[in-house]
Amino acid sequence: MQSRLQNVRIAGLGHYLPERIVTNAELERTVETSDQWIQDRTGIKERRIARNDETASSLGLAAAKMAVEDADIDPATIDLVLVGTTTPDGLFPSTASLIQDKIGATHAGGWDCAAACAGFLSAFATGMQFIQTGASKRVLVVGTEVLSRIINWQDRGTCVLFGDGAGAVLLEAAEYGGPLGLVMRSDGSKKYHLWAEGIGAARDEDGNGPTLEQCMIQMDGPAMFKSAVHAMTDAVREALVQSELTVDDIDLFVPHQANLRIMQGTAKALGMPLEKVIATVHKYGNNSSATIPIALSEAYREGRLEEGMKVAMCTIGGGLAWGAMILEYSRVGVRPAVASKEAAGVPAGGAG
């Protein structure tokens, strides 16, 4: 990572959550569960559910507009739109193409990254590398989900976990900022930890494909919990080694918001103080590929994401697919020491 040609700043952040809130008390009326049971096992109190007329592209567009406005740029100057999603509007065109069109990124390419909950980090890393190599100057990265469309609302093991939402990040070439360490992994042998069949699945002898129930989220909870903590912990450790940093150097930890117990277990295994952990799972549930950008956007607006911070992100999802990134966060794109000198009226490179 040290030989990169370009650095990358985060020029804009945005997020969008549907208005409808579904509480644990509401779920108590439809499945055999309780508010206490859900909170004890997941840390979730409520989640957001999309309206019938909302889709992954419409949620993603709202988040993208917020990020573009935050960056104060002309959408026509965006070179690439990348979207992480498990619930695209359709098989094709890509959700990225739909967002690219509606936001006015008239000169941009675009495609989706399908890696379940690891979709955003996959797209984020890809966008970073397009900028690092000089292939793009501005990249819009979106994580967006309408998981409520693929949930079996009679399955208490999954329906209590997931919610809808979107987050977006506008990346731009700069003198300072960007990834210091990156780890992305996959293990298809663990498919049945977390999966959902699709229209392209194998047919039986009579030509019948998967049932609607089989196309909804299915999960082996205990197996997923064990894999998640181990995989995310190992990925962060490896990314720290690449970055030549330690856990003590990390200012902010943004894990995938799968489950509060998983997040706390990962932090504990790393020796990460809980006060450094960003958590949104209690109010939004698991938004799959949207959790990390939503958390980043909220952290920025709450004043928790500051210039020059070392930020650790990690995720895991169906595949299994997982990964981690150590990010040197910058909004201004200028090394802090240089920025502070210029603010004081001292020319860059001059005496301090």
Instruction: Provide the greatest CA pair distance for the chain.
Output: 80
Phi/psi for 115 (5° steps) reads -140, 30
The H-or-E segment that residue 49 falls in is strand 46-49
- C-alpha Rg value of the chain to the nearest Å: 20
C-alpha–C-alpha distance, residues 225 and 211, integer Å: 26
Is residue 117 part of the annotated active site? The answer reads: yes
Cα–Cα–Cα angle for 71, 172, 294, nearest 5°?
60
Instruction: Indicate which residue of 256, 259, 287, 314 is catalytic.
Output: 256
Distance from chain centroid for Cα 56: 14
Instruction: Indicate which residue of 7, 259, 286, 287 is catalytic.
Output: 286
Cα–Cα–Cα angle for 251, 255, 258, nearest 5°?
155
Instruction: Show the tokens assigned to 194.
Output: 């977390």
Kindly report the number of other CB atoms within 10 A of residue 225's CB atom: 18
Residue 82: strand, helix, or coil:
strand
64 burial (CB, 10 Å; 0-12 / 13-18 / 19+) is buried
Name, in order, each residue with C-beta under 8 angstroms of 295's C-beta and a sequence gap of 6 or more. Answer: 167, 254, 257, 278, 279, 280
Kindly report the number of other CB atoms within 10 A of residue 206's CB atom: 5
Instruction: Indicate which residue of 7, 24, 113, 117 is catalytic.
Output: 117
Is residue 107 part of the annotated active site? The answer reads: no
Q: Just list the catalytic residues.
A: 117, 256, 286
